[in-house]
Amino acid sequence: MKKRIGWITGGIVVLLTVALLGGSNYFYNQGVNRGEQVELYSEEPPVLPSSEADRKLLAEAQDWFAAKKLKELEMTSYDGLNLKAHYLQNPQESGKAVILAHGYRGYGQQMGDLAKFYYDHGFSILMPDARGHGESEGDYIGYGWHDRLDYQGWIKRLIDDYRMDSIFLHGNSMGAALVLMTSGEDLPSQVKGIIADSGYTDVSEELSHQLRHLYHLPAFPLISITSGMTKLRAGYWFGEASAIEQVKDNTRPLFIIHGDRDELVPTEMAHRLYEAADSEKQLWIVPGAGHTDAYAAATAEFQKRLEAFIESALGF
């Protein structure tokens, strides 16, 4: 009888192990492996409370960007990947540049809505494709963690090749987490400020949020096992990929933006990121805006607040 119970117990353990490994492999392929667009959790998108004037501003910015001819840049990452970016040089030669960081499974030129604002304020604009995205090499998504080291390379490129002396980092969603993660590194003095729109606290928390709401599964142990698989296959743990820990070491002025109806990256994460930061900082929770919707929902106010932040940061 005891022997039979042992066999049954062993069989159950084997089945559970196989199920967990299979589930983790599936979740890795869905969440980390480079590939096609996957489903992400969010509730019905809110109806944006944008005005006619805001819609006109946004449409003008989109039309302006679509007509611009961009220069393609390449860079070899610290681990040998060929990374691509698109660059728009401002003829004012003011020494100001912004790096615009796109979101999950996106690409650099999706940040074009913001390009006209920065260009009109004398900035040159760099829009990299993150590793594992767009035209850049890489077979996994770094969620901003390894990308923070890539951004140190892009920053150096702007300084060495284009003589930029005032650089801002501005990211949306995964790009927001990326610039927050970059902010905790030892950055050159030319980096003047960080703008993070709809960023998450860390990869483990964000993927746990997705797992609960998409698949109605608890985070443990699937996230832990997938994290181990990610360490083996992509070289990082979910827990170490932490914007909230990195921002504690940031010394640059920081502007955190988040919609109060964001279901993809919970709004409470913005409050926690803000509380963790110890630098000069601002927090703007945008009424009625969902995930990365702030610019579309309140274009004129967004521009006004961003202009004030830049002026303040340049004088910091």
> Tens of pLDDT along 19-51?
455 556 787 988 899 975 566 656 666 667 789
Reported as a single tens digit per residue, the pLDDT across 190-220 is: 999 999 999 999 999 999 999 898 877 888 7
User: What's the rounded mean pLDDT across residues 53-64?
Assistant: 95
Joined tokens for residue 93: 């030669």
- Annotate 237-290 with DSSP letters as a single string: -TTT-BHHHHGGG--S-EEEEEETT-TTTTTHHHHHHHHH--SSEEEEEETT--
Look at residue 265 in the predicted model and tell me its pLDDT. 97
User: 3-state class of 235 per DSSP?
Assistant: coil
Q: Is the pLDDT of residue 271 over 80?
A: yes
Domains of the chain, CATH where assigned: 56-202+241-314 (3.40.50.1820)
Look at residue 40 in the predicted model and tell me its pLDDT. 67
What H or E segment, with its residue span, contains residue 225? helix 222-234
Task: Respond yes or no on whether the N-terminal peptide bond of residue 266 is cis (omega within 30° of 0).
Answer: no
Q: Is the pLDDT of residue 9 over 60?
A: no
* Most confident of the ranges 8-17, 216-225, 279-288: 279-288
Q: Is the pLDDT of residue 52 over 50?
A: yes
**pTM of the predicted structure, to 2 decimals:** 0.92
